Amino acid sequence: MKRGPALEDRTHDDGFPYKPADRRIRSPLVWAATILLVHGCGSERPPTHGVASSGAVSSATPEATAVGVRVLASGGNAVDAAVAISLALGVTEPSESGLGGTVVMLVIRPGADPLVIHATPEVVRSTGPNPGSFLRPTMVPVLVHAWREYGSGKVSWEKVVEPAQGLAQDGYALGRFRHLKMVKEYSRLEGDSVATALLLNSDHSIPGEGTRVQLPVLARTLERLAGTAPTALPGGDFADLVASDIVGLVDATAARVLATPTEVREDTPLAGTYRGWSVLVPGYPYGGSRLLRALELLQSAPVEVLEEEGESRTAWLAEALGYAIAPQEVSLGTYLAALPRLPLSVDDPALRRTRRMSGASLPSLAPDAGAQPPASSHFSVVDATGMAVSVTQSLRGPFGERASGLGFFLARAPEGASMGSQAVSWSVPTVLMRKGAIGLVLGSSGGSRALSAVVQTVTEWVDGGHPLERAVATPRLHIEGGARPRPRMVLEGVTWVDPMGGLRASLEPWGEGVRRLAVSRGLGVGEQDTGLQTLGISSFFGGVHAVARDGDGWTPAADPRRDGVGRVVSEEDVVRARQDPRGERDLIDLGPPPSPDVRSRPEE
How far is CA 14 from its chain centroid? 29
The answer, yes or no, to whether residue 235 has pLDDT greater than 90, is no
DSSP state, residue 354? B
So what's the pLDDT on residue 54?
83
Q: Where do runs of H (alpha helix) occur along 418-533? A: 449-462, 468-473, 503-506, 514-521
Strand order in the sheet with 524-526: 477-480, 488-491, 524-526
Q: Work out the average pLDDT over 423-445.
A: 90
User: Per residue in 488-528, pLDDT tens?
Assistant: 899 988 877 665 556 777 888 899 899 899 989 989 887 76
The answer, yes or no, to whether residue 274 has pLDDT greater than 80, is yes
The answer, yes or no, to whether residue 24 has pLDDT greater than 60, is no
Q: Dihedral (C-alpha) 569, 571, 576, 579: value to the nearest 10 degrees?
A: 140
So what's the pLDDT on residue 239?
87
So what's the pLDDT on residue 361?
52
Per DSSP, the three-state class of 598 is coil
Residue 131 pLDDT level (bands cut at 50, 70, 90): confident
User: Per residue in 163-177, pLDDT tens?
Assistant: 999 999 999 999 999
3-state secondary structure 248-291: CCCCHHHHHHHHCCCCCEEECCEEEEECCEEEEECCCCECHHHH
Q: Work out the average pLDDT over 111-127.
A: 91
So what's the pLDDT on residue 263?
92
Instruction: For 180-268, list the strands marked E by DSSP.
Output: 206-207, 212-213, 265-267
So what's the pLDDT on residue 258?
86
Residue 20 pLDDT level (bands cut at 50, 70, 90): very low
Gyration radius from the chain CA atoms:
23
The answer, yes or no, to whether residue 451 has pLDDT greater than 80, is yes
Answer whether 530's CB lies under 8 Å from 184's CB: yes
The reported pTM is 0.85
Looking at 264-273, 322-331, 354-363, 440-449, which range is the least confident one? 354-363
- For residue 437, CA distances in Å to 186, 207, 386, 392 come to 45, 45, 8, 22
User: Per residue in 34-67, pLDDT tens?
Assistant: 333 333 332 333 333 333 358 999 999 999 999 9
Inter-axis angle of helices 62-73 and 78-92, nearest 10: 150
Q: How many other CB atoms are there within 10 angstroms of residue 594's CB atom?
A: 16
The answer, yes or no, to whether residue 7 has pLDDT greater than 70, is no
So what's the pLDDT on residue 356?
39
Range ranked top by mean pLDDT from 400-414, 508-522, 554-568, 570-584 = 554-568
So what's the pLDDT on residue 362?
52
Stronger pLDDT, 54 or 465, i.e. the higher one: 465
Determine the Cα–Cα distance for residues 562 and 539; give it in Å rounded to an integer: 7
User: Per residue in 77-93, pLDDT tens?
Assistant: 999 999 999 999 999 99
So what's the pLDDT on residue 536?
63
So what's the pLDDT on residue 426?
73
DSSP assignment of 460-479 equals HHHTS---HHHHHHS--EEE
Range ranked top by mean pLDDT from 205-214, 338-347, 441-450 = 205-214
User: Per residue in 352-378, pLDDT tens?
Assistant: 333 433 344 555 555 544 445 558 999
User: Per residue in 133-183, pLDDT tens?
Assistant: 888 999 999 999 999 999 999 999 999 999 999 999 999 999 999 999 999
The answer, yes or no, to whether residue 483 has pLDDT greater than 70, is no
Q: Work out the average pLDDT over 107-128.
A: 91
Q: Work out the average pLDDT over 333-352.
A: 70
Per DSSP, the three-state class of 128 is coil
Q: Work out the average pLDDT over 195-214.
A: 95
Among residues 394, 506, 477, 409, which one has the least CA distance to residue 443? 394
DSSP state, residue 362? P
Q: Work out the average pLDDT over 317-327.
A: 93
So what's the pLDDT on residue 297?
96
Q: State the average pLDDT for the chain.
A: 81
Among residues 557, 511, 532, which one has the least CA distance to residue 308? 511
Determine the Cα–Cα distance for residues 453 and 456; give it in Å rounded to an integer: 5
So what's the pLDDT on residue 354?
36
Residue 347 pLDDT level (bands cut at 50, 70, 90): very low
Residue 26 pLDDT level (bands cut at 50, 70, 90): very low
- For residue 281, CA distances in Å to 306, 429, 547 come to 23, 6, 16
pLDDT above 70 covers a percentage of the chain that reads 77
Answer whether 448's CB lies under 8 Å from 368's CB: yes
So what's the pLDDT on residue 45?
31
